[in-house]
Amino acid sequence: MTLTLEQRIRGCLARHPDWTTARITTSTTARMAEVEAIRAGQPMPERVKAATPFPTTALDIAGKPSSGAGTVSLDKIRAKFDTIAAIERELAALQRGQLLPESDMAKLTCGTDRSRFRRCIENNAERFRHIRTKLKLDEGEARAFWGHPEDISEAERYREM
């Protein structure tokens, strides 16, 4: 059996006559004016509906896009997850004649998510072939470097000498 709001307020007042209006409103999900009216022996006041209804679509009444509350910009998502575009941006900012180690490129484009960077490289190996190379500069294993296509081809020529 579902009780009406008025019945819940009256029941709460009968069980707890010492409770404050604020405590009864919290307990019954009523408004203070409703509790005070019942307490004073007056009829339950009518609830006034909100002046502006909650929008049910992304468009407001005038047909314009909503203010954006609760939305996320697609540009923000692209900036975070489009690794290819991030690599291209970093290469455009890189000076000619400079090579960027792959560890730095991964950090600049994907932050701490190295697996996303690695997946992007593996899935687009042919696309990055002309801007990425492996060089063995010191004793140890060869490391990958990124740079402008002309710089990469020159570095590979020196490597093969």
Domain edges within the chain: 5-39, 74-160
The position carrying tokens 């500069």 is 137
The position carrying tokens 């970093």 is 90
Average pLDDT per block of 10 residues along the chain, 161 residues long: 85 91 88 89 75 50 57 82 90 92 92 91 93 88 93 90 79
CATH number for 74-160 (one of 3.90.550, 1.10.287, 1.20.1740, 1.10.10): it is 1.10.10
Q: Is the separation of the CB atoms in 91 and 148 below 8 Å?
A: yes
Enumerate long-range contacts of 106-112, CB under 8 Å, 24 or more apart: 109/83, 110/83, 110/86
pLDDT at 78: 83
In whole angstroms, what is the distance from residue 124 CA to residue 5 CA?
A: 63
Enter the pTM of the model.
Answer: 0.53
